[in-house]
Every structure is written in C-alpha cells, then in structure tokens.
C-alpha cells in the first residue's frame, strides 16, 4: 500500500465564496471558537470597572418601567388590557432593550476591532454578531426580573409561553440584519452611528412598548404594522403576561419583513466586507 504524504503544516486556502451565497455558515462554524471568545470578551468589557456590574442589565429596563408607569400609566392613563401597567410596560421593554443595546454595541464593533480585522482573516460577520450575542446575557437577566414581577402580581406563565423562543428568534434575526447594515455602513461613514442613536430614541415611541397596538388610530395602523418590532413586542407580551395567542397576521407580516431585511443586509455586508481592511 502506498504511503500517504501529508504536508508538514496545515494548508489553508482562502478563496472567494460563491457569488450567490449570502452567508457562509460553514466558515462561521469553522470560526465558532473566535465567535465565542469575542462574545465573552464583550460581556466582560461591558461590566468591567463598574460598581454595579451585571445589575445594569436589570436597572436599565427597571428605571424605564418606572418612568413609563408614571407618565403613561398614571398621568396619561394608558390602558394596559387588564394587567398592572408596570408588568405591561416591562414585558415590552425586555425585547426592546435587547434590540436597542445590541444595535448600540454593534454599531462601532467593526471600527473598534480594526487591529484584528487588518491583521488576520476571519469572517467579518463574527464581530458584529458577537457584540449582539453578548446582549443575550442582559436579555436573560431582564427576563428573570420580569418573571419575578409576574410572581409579585400573581400572574403565571401559561401554555402560550412556548412562543417566547419564536419571537426571540425573530428578534435576534432582525437585530442581526439591522446590525450588519449599520456596522458595515459605519466603516465608510462614521456619522451612521450617531444617526442610528437618534433614530432609536424615536423608534421607541413608534413601537408599542408603553402602549398597546390596539390604541393606535386606524389611519396610522399600517405604519406600525410595517415596523417588525411591533409584532415582536406584542407577541412577546401576549405569550408571557397575557397567555394568549399572538396576532398571527401581524406576526406573518413581521416575519416576512424580517426575512427581507436579513437577506438584503447579508448581501450588502458581503459586498462591503472585502473593503473593510483597506478603509478601516
């Protein structure tokens, strides 16, 4: 039998991917250890040299819940569909806070990793994806606080709670798509990040977080329906605190928009990432 001659060192060939492929899951899987390392790094950096540490993941939605309760629940008298308004508001703030913080953290992730991007090859998507995945730790802590508040108000989880992973998946997919677009654009135009921050402040009030979608006037309803976060927030709230089926039509529309955003952002990111090392 002929002996097999192996190279003295592993041979790695870097070549362009198929032009019709959107994301190379094989490449991302091959660099999964780097993804885990960068995610863990972002988690540690986020709370490094802070007095309260991970408690900020709970305090941020908690303080916003208190503010919403005072201004929307007490002063404006916004209806909360039969449940205590603090619980209503927090159920909407948990997914929103994840989205907002992930977009903020990921916006400058590529620029902040310039030393890494310009020296070694790896799928560039790993950088903004790691910044986004680090936010899942905050999401879990905020969700735990929501469960504690539900126990306080004696509101239990029901069978429709099984829909939570579905809406979390839609939330992660939409956040990743939006992150790909903003982080890639920020490499070429550094004013993208502050513009996104301003947009997020407006976006919060155009999403049914502090109020139910049912109170939105009919002439503005279509605008809110086209906002993917409307279905995510409403569906998450329905599954967790109301224990009822989500609005399937709204969910289907949102899922379609999210899929379109994700595919478009992935194509955009792929076409731009080959220039990152030169521009950054």
Residue bearing tokens 């004696």: 154
Residue 128 lies in a domain: yes
pLDDT of 79 over the 90 cut: no
Q: For residue 15, is it within any domain? A: no
Q: Which residues form the domain of 153?
A: 25-271
What are the DSSP calls for 63-81, one per residue?
A: HHHHHHIIIIIIIS----T
Q: What share of the chain is helix, strand, coil (3-state, %, to 5)?
A: 75, 0, 25
In a domain, 192, yes or no: yes
Q: How many CB atoms lie within 10 A of CB 8?
A: 6
* Residue 249 reports pLDDT greater than 70: yes
**Residue 14 pLDDT > 60, yes or no?**
no
Choose among 171, 175, 157: nearest CA to 232: 171
Residue 159 lies in a domain: yes
d(CA 33, CA 136): 18
Min mean pLDDT across 53-62, 100-109, 125-134 is at 53-62
How do residues 84-116 score in pLDDT, each as one tens digit? 999 999 999 999 999 999 999 888 889 888 888
Lowest mean pLDDT among 94-103, 252-261, 267-276: 267-276
CB neighbours of residue 194 within 10 Å: 11
pLDDT at position 13, please? 56
Mean pLDDT of the chain: 87
Does residue 278 lie in a domain region? no
**CA geometry: angle 252, 255, 259, nearest 5 deg:** 140
Residue 20, pLDDT score: 46
Whether 104 is covered by a domain: the verdict is: yes
Q: What is the widest separation between alpha-carbon atoms in the chain?
A: 86
**For position 11, what pLDDT does the model report?**
57
Residue 1 within a domain: no
Backbone angles phi, psi at 119, to 5 degrees: -110, -35
Count of structural domains within the chain? 1
- Spatial neighbors of 235 by CB under 8 A, at least 6 apart, are 163, 166, 167, 246, 247, 250, 251
**Mean pLDDT calculated for residue range 137-156:** 93
Examine residue 48 and state whether it is found in any structural domain, yes or no: yes
Q: How confident is the model at residue 184 (pLDDT cuts 50, 70, 90)?
A: very high
Q: Is residue 21 pLDDT above 60, yes or no?
A: no
Please report, rounded to a whole number, the percentage of residues in the chain having pLDDT higher than 70.
89
Closest C-alpha to 97, from 63, 73, 72, 53: 63
pLDDT over 90 (residue 1): no
State pTM to two decimals.
0.88
């Amino acid at each position: 039998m002929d002996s097999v001659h192996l190279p003295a060192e592993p041979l790695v060939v870097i070549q362009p991917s198929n032009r019709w492929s959107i994301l190379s899951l094989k490449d991302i899987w091959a660099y999964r250890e780097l993804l885990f390392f960068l995610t863990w790094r972002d988690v540690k950096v986020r709370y490094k040299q802070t007095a309260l540490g991970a408690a900020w993941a709970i305090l941020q939605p908690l303080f916003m819940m208190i503010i919403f309760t005072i201004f929307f629940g007490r002063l404006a008298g916004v209806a909360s569909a039969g449940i205590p308004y603090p619980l209503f508001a927090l159920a909407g703030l948990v997914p929103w806070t994840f989205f907002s913080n992930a977009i903020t953290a990921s916006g400058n992730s590529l620029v902040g990793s310039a030393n890494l991007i310009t020296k070694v090859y790896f799928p560039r998507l790993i950088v903004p994806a790691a910044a986004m995945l680090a936010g899942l730790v905050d999401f879990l802590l905020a969700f735990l606080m929501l469960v504690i508040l539900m126990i306080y108000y004696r509101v239990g989880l029901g069978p429709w709670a099984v829909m939570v992973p579905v809406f979390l998946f839609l939330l992660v997919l939409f956040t990743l798509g939006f992150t790909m677009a903003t982080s890639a654009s920020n490499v070429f135009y550094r004013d993208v990040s502050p513009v996104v921050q301003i947009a997020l402040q407006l976006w919060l009030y155009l999403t049914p977080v502090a109020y139910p979608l049912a109170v939105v006037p009919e002439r503005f309803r279509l605008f809110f329906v086209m906002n993917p976060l409307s279905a995510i927030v409403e569906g998450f709230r329905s599954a967790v605190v109301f224990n009822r089926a989500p609005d399937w039509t709204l969910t289907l529309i949102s899922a379609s928009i999210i899929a379109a955003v994700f595919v478009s952002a992935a194509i955009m990111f792929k076409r731009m990432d080959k220039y990152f090392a030169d521009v950054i």
